[in-house]
Amino acid sequence: MSVVLVDAGGTNIGSVRYALQRLGVDAALTSDAATIRTADKVILPGVGAAGPGMARLRELGLIELLRSLTQPVLGVCLGMQLLCAHSEEGDTECLGLIPAPVRRFVEAPGVRVPHMGWNRVVARREHPLLAGLGEDDQAYFVHSYAVPTGDWTLASSDYGQPFSAVIARDNFHGMQFHPERSAAVGAKLLKNFLDS
């Protein structure tokens, strides 16, 4: 099985790659269109802001390629947000593969932005990506923007308001948390993606 990590300039690429190695998968880091097109699984990691993230994909000529992929694709953190329709962050048009908006958390008493730390991930419907997820399982989040819950939501979390922790539409999947920093839960969900 060939797994590629799209080299879109995210600072979490090394840790995602190491998490995959712990699962026995040596993922190639690439921005080469042919390599991405022929991979069995594609992972789009990312940390940072939506505008520069989309600009980097445009610069690499990968936007239409990513939109055309038919194999399983997983967006992680910012990578998940880039799969969506539009982000309030910099008023950015994203890839539009999952018809969801990305909105900034509303600060309130007890709700600091960014959201940082461990938070419970609750399955909203059955899906192979969530196999083995327990009722009290938690994952590690670092983000200021989130996808609200909707038809695309497989699992949610709550930070002042419910938001999507795991999303999917067709062959495109996203995890808002950092599976590479989420211990056994993150490893389990990454393995589910690899086994899908």
| 145, 80 Cβ separation under 8 angstroms | no
Catalytic-residue membership of 180? yes
Annotated catalytic residue within 115, 143, 173, 178 = 178
Catalytic-residue membership of 77? yes
| 138, 144 Cβ separation under 8 angstroms | no
| 31, 102 Cβ separation under 8 angstroms | no
Nearest Cα neighbor of 176 from 151, 150, 153, 192 is 153
Annotated catalytic residue within 77, 84, 94, 143 = 77
Residue type at 123?
A
Nearest Cα neighbor of 4 from 176, 20, 12 is 20
Nearest Cα neighbor of 127 from 195, 42, 40 is 195
Catalytic-residue membership of 94? no
10 Å CB burial of residue 62 (0-12, 13-18, 19+) is buried
User: Distance between CA atoms of 24 and 1, rounded to whole angstroms?
Assistant: 11
Annotated catalytic residue within 94, 115, 173, 180 = 180
- Give the active site residues: 77, 178, 180
